[in-house]
Amino acid sequence: MALKDLILKYAPIVGQNIGISLYNTYLYKQRHRGHYKAYGDYYRHYENASPQEVAQEAQNRLNEFLLATTESSPWYREHRGKSLHEFPILEKAQLLAHMDSIRTIEEKDGIVSLTGGTTGASMKVIYAHKDMQERFALKDHFRARYGYRLGKKVAWFSGKSLVRPKDLERGNVFRDDYINKIRFFSTFHISQQNFDAYWRAFCDFKPEYIVGFPSSVYDLCTMALERKLKYDGAVTTFFPTAETVLPQYRSVISEVFGCQVVDQYAASEGAPFILECPHGSLHIHPLTGVFEVVDENLQPANEGEILVTPFTTHGTPLVRYRIGDRIKLAPESFRCACGSSFPVVEYIDGRTSDFIWSPENGKVNLGNISNCTKDVNGIICFQVVQNEADAVHVSVVANERFTLEEQHHFIDAMALRLGTTVTVHLDLVDEIPREPSGKFRLVKNRLTPELMQVATVQGS
Ligand SMILES: [Zn+2]
220/121 same-domain check: yes
Q: How far is the CA of 346 from the centre of ligand 1 (A)?
A: 12
241/373 same-domain check: no
Residue pair 310/318 in contact by the 8 Å Cβ criterion: yes
Q: How far is the CA of 225 from the centre of ligand 1 (A)?
A: 32
Q: How far is the CA of 69 from the centre of ligand 1 (A)?
A: 32
Q: How far is the CA of 336 from the centre of ligand 1 (A)?
A: 5
Give me the pLDDT at residue 449, please: 63
The C-alpha atoms of residue 95 and residue 45 are separated, in whole angstroms, by: 34
Count how many domains the chain has: 2
In a domain, 304, yes or no: no
360/232 same-domain check: no
Q: Of 264, 288, 312, which marks where a domain is finished?
A: 264
Give me the pLDDT at residue 120, please: 38
Beta bridge partners, 260, equal 237
What are the φ/ψ torsions at residue 213 (nearest 5 degrees)?
Answer: -65, 120
Q: How far is the CA of 338 from the centre of ligand 1 (A)?
A: 4
- Which residues are CB-neighbours of 86 under 8 A, at least 6 positions away? 79
Q: What angle do CA 45, 50, 53 make, to 5 degrees?
A: 80
Q: Of 264, 291, 309, which marks where a domain is finished?
A: 264
Give me the pLDDT at residue 208, please: 97
Give me the pLDDT at residue 353, please: 62
Give me the pLDDT at residue 442, please: 85
112/10 same-domain check: yes
249/383 same-domain check: no
Residue pair 178/154 in contact by the 8 Å Cβ criterion: no
Q: How far is the CA of 273 from the centre of ligand 1 (A)?
A: 14
Give me the pLDDT at residue 62, please: 98
259/359 same-domain check: no
In a domain, 222, yes or no: yes
Q: How far is the CA of 48 from the centre of ligand 1 (A)?
A: 12
221/118 same-domain check: yes
Q: How far is the CA of 61 from the centre of ligand 1 (A)?
A: 23
Give me the pLDDT at residue 150, please: 86
164/33 same-domain check: yes
256/385 same-domain check: no
Q: How far is the CA of 311 from the centre of ligand 1 (A)?
A: 22
Q: How far is the CA of 343 from the centre of ligand 1 (A)?
A: 9
In a domain, 340, yes or no: no
In a domain, 244, yes or no: yes
Q: How far is the CA of 340 from the centre of ligand 1 (A)?
A: 6
The CATH number of whichever domain residue 215 belongs to comes to 3.40.50.12780
Q: What is the largest CA-CA distance in the chain?
A: 65
Q: How far is the CA of 339 from the centre of ligand 1 (A)?
A: 6
Q: How far is the CA of 185 from the centre of ligand 1 (A)?
A: 31
The C-alpha atoms of residue 241 and residue 440 are separated, in whole angstroms, by: 12
Can you give the pLDDT of all 460 residues of the chain as single tens digits? 566 666 666 678 888 888 888 888 888 888 888 899 999 999 999 988 999 999 999 999 999 999 999 999 999 999 999 999 999 999 887 888 898 999 999 999 998 887 654 333 456 789 999 999 999 999 999 999 999 988 999 999 976 767 777 888 888 899 999 999 999 998 878 888 889 999 999 999 999 999 988 888 998 999 999 999 999 999 999 999 877 888 888 999 999 999 999 998 887 677 899 999 999 999 999 999 999 999 888 899 999 889 999 999 999 999 999 887 888 999 988 999 999 989 999 988 765 567 788 887 777 777 678 778 877 888 878 899 999 889 999 999 888 889 999 999 999 989 888 888 899 999 999 888 877 766 678 888 888 766 665 544 444 3
The C-alpha atoms of residue 379 and residue 222 are separated, in whole angstroms, by: 10
In a domain, 445, yes or no: yes
Helix, strand, coil percentages in the chain from 3-state DSSP, rounded to 5: 40, 25, 35
Give me the pLDDT at residue 113, please: 81
The C-alpha atoms of residue 301 and residue 175 are separated, in whole angstroms, by: 46
Q: Name the residues around ion ligand 1, CB cutoff 5 A.
A: 277, 279, 281, 336, 338, 340
Domain with 362 in it: 355-459
Give me the pLDDT at residue 343, please: 94
Q: Of 235, 264, 293, which marks where a domain is finished?
A: 264
